[in-house]
Structure 1
Amino acid sequence: MHARMHQPVPPSVGAWLRADFPDASEDEILDLTATRELTADDGSRVSLDDPVIPGGFYWFHRSVPPEERVPVEIGIVHEDEHLLVVDKPHFLASTPNGRFVRECVVTRMRVERDDPDLVAIHRLDRVTAGLLLLSKRPETRGAYQTLFQNRRIRKTYRALAALPPAPGAESAGDAGRGLAQETTVAEVPPGWAACRATLLHKESGDRQVREVPGPPNSRTEARLVRILEEADLPIAPASATPRIGEFELTPHTGRTHQLRVHMQGWGMPILGDPVYPVDLGPDPYDLSSPLQLLAHRLEFRDPLTGEGRVFDSRLTLVPTRSQLEK
């Protein structure tokens, strides 16, 4: 479709393609007509010299650039006639998006299972691990998608974060967090629980979502599940090693980066977060420091059978050495 409807209509289809796909070579554009791959919405062949139809659709296949394989594997949690429930690993996209077309859960599963009907019913951020539901049958897909649209699915996440220092102790990292003191938590005792409801806003071109004054559009419940023991850590804790807490997070809204922003707002950014509190501009192929956030449980009433369904991830969160030594 001519994507820039608010701008003047290009004089020809060729001019539109060259403007919208500046990275495409002239040979690639010419090949679209030479191979009859460029068609209008009714299937008729389109010439590069044809005038652009405002609001019209044009169809063609673009070649996919080579992608480096992400060295992670997808775990199968459950499968039935209608659903495939998988454990998405860290660093693997849920669906084709931008630079990752082949290297995502949906494409991998379609290829491995020779099943083009597989579609993700929802999505997880590429850096988040855990449960992802895929639909196997187009005729029942809408019923499951409606569960997410109407928020009739309970999602529970687990996250690891450094706990605030004990009262009176100093923390060298506090000054670098850039957090308003009144928004942070001074102490997180065993059994700590809280709810955070704030207005989240993202500026165009900025990867970070920010909490700003105004009526809340996001709400998260958090609970400290446990404090990790020495046996849970990849290194023996030193005096400077922070205490690491495992939190249960329940989002009641589905805003972008909501859990990550709310944990930062409490003064406990999730370990391994490449964007909060500081956007590090990470290399997508650097797998050395996974975000310690896991989509742990999904609960819902099956729209086809009325049965209560509960799925638990088989993945666990383990902090890396580098995350503990920072």
Structure 2
Amino acid sequence: MSFAPSIRPVAPLPTRDGVGPSVVALPEGNWPTMLDFLVERFPAIARSTWLERIAARTVVDERGEPVTPTRRYQPRLRLFYYRALGPEPDLPEYETVLHRDADLVVVDKPHFMPVTPSGPYLQQSLLVRVKRALGIDALVPLHRIDRATAGLVLFSANPATRGRYQSLFIDRAMRKEYEAIVHWPHGTTLPATYRSRLQPDAHFMRTQEVPGEPNAETHIEALEVRGGHARLRLSPVTGRKHQLRVHCNALGVPIVNDEIYPLLKPFGPDDFARPMQLLACKLAFVDPVTGAPRAFASARSLAGWPAAA
């Protein structure tokens, strides 16, 4: 979960099959050619593959000038190219578009699908799938939720109004509500509000709590207890990476099937039968363009529990 993504440079290559070009900045260095830099920078991509892309004129600089096999290295430029992957893993479920207008698209995301291309997912990422389905090349996510989390994602469809909707997240004017199924030791009690200071962990996949002024705040309500599990309503005020997962774990009630907290599981294929039990179920805000109140609710539910009312 995070606030609005940073603005990317305008790309000199068009969107292709729902996917915009990737970009790499050229640092100071002594590579003889741009091709030599690309081969060293991306060791998993063969030199022959870069030569094929160059021959197809799909590697260009920020001015749209093509890279050639012999073009000399020039630091402080940006190169654009199309990312390519082999066959992508199949996913057990796909997204549902809940709302579309001239400014916004609201999508109900399943577990295991990344919001933007990452890892082995490109065409199967939510952004690319919705771009292709709706034919909106300008689509940009206004926030993100973890690949392991299901639920609502809000997209901007109109660059002219995008900043006004991004401000809802920056100014904490977007009311976000999640549900989680957590492990519930006997005798557990939870505070109505939990605050702590979060920062990146030594492992890039994790976030940790540290002493200091809190920079993360979550409102918490226990909705139902069933034996060793409980269903919680979580309302994050801030939007730090993995905030809800870290806060639940810190309170002794880690989210069911969380593969990062409390213990980082070894990397391996997804177990689609065990989705993490976290759902981004509601978004509500005053529309900054029309002034009207707006609210959206996910149609999904967590395993064995009713959908959000």
Query: How many pairs were matched up?
Result: 283
AA in 2 matched with 1:72: E
Corresponding residue for 2:54? 33
State the partner residue of 2:98: 77
Look up the match of 1:268. Answer: 253
> In the aligned structure 1, how far is the partner of 2:256 from the partner of 2:143?
24
- 1:119-130 counterparts in 2 under 5 A? 119-130=140-151
2:68 is equivalent to residue 47 of structure 1: yes
What SS does structure 2 have at the residue aligned with 1:138? coil
| Structure 1 residues 3-14: aligned runs within 5 Å | 3=25, 5=27, 8-14=29-35
Q: Percent identity?
A: 35
Q: Rate the CA distance shift 1:14–1:80 in 2: closer, same or farther, 3 A.
A: closer
Where 1:102 maps in the other structure, the secondary structure is: coil
Shift of the 117–157 alpha-carbon distance from structure 1 to 2, 3 Å rule, reads same
- Between stretches 267-276 and 74-83, larger displacement belongs to 74-83
Which residue, 292, 295, 298 being the options, matches 2:277? Answer: 292
Deviations 1:272-317 (A, max 9, x none): 1011111113535321211111111111110111011111111111
Letter in 2 for 1:47: T
Alpha-carbon separation, structure 2, partners of 1:157 and 1:33: 46
Gaps of 5+ in 2: 1-22
Structure 1: which 5+ residue stretches go unaligned?
167-186, 229-241, 321-326
- SS of the counterpart of 1:300? strand
TM-score with structure 1 setting the length: 0.80
Q: Is the 8 A contact 1:41 1:57 kept in 2?
A: yes
| Coordinate RMSD, CA, aligned | 2.1
Question: In the alignment, does 2:288 pair up with 1:303?
Answer: yes
Deviation (angstroms), 1:249? 0.8
1:197 Cα deviation after fit: 1.3
1:148 aligns to what?
169
Match of 1:131 among 142, 152, 159: 152
Residues 162 and 32 of structure 1, relative CA distance in 2, 3 Å threshold: closer
The answer for the alignment partner of 2:234 in structure 1 is 249
In structure 2, the residue corresponding to 1:31 is in which secondary structure? helix
The structure in which a higher percent of residues are helix is 1
Give the Cα separation in 2 of the matches to 1:272 and 1:217.
Answer: 26
Q: CA offsets, 1:140-185, max 9 Å, x none?
A: 222212212222101111111122214xxxxxxxxxxxxxxxxxxx
Pairing 1:1-326 to 2, within 5 Å after superposition: 3=25, 5=27, 8-166=29-187, 187-188=188-189, 193-228=191-226, 242-318=227-303
Please report how far the alpha carbon of residue 50 of structure 1 lies from its aligned counterpart in structure 2 after TM superposition. Answer: 2.3
TM-score between both structures, scaled by the size of structure 2: 0.84
1:195 shift after superposition: 1.7
Q: Provide Cα deviations, 1:51-103, integer angstroms capped at 9, x if missing partner.
A: 22211122222333221221202123223332221211111111122321111
Q: 1:13/1:4 Cα in 2 relative to 1: closer, same or farther (>3 Å)?
A: closer
SS at match of 2:257: coil
Aligned to 1:126, the other structure's residue is in SS state: coil
Query: What is the rounded CA distance, in whole Å, between the counterparts of 2:61 and 2:26 in structure 1?
Result: 18
Letter in 1 for 2:195: A
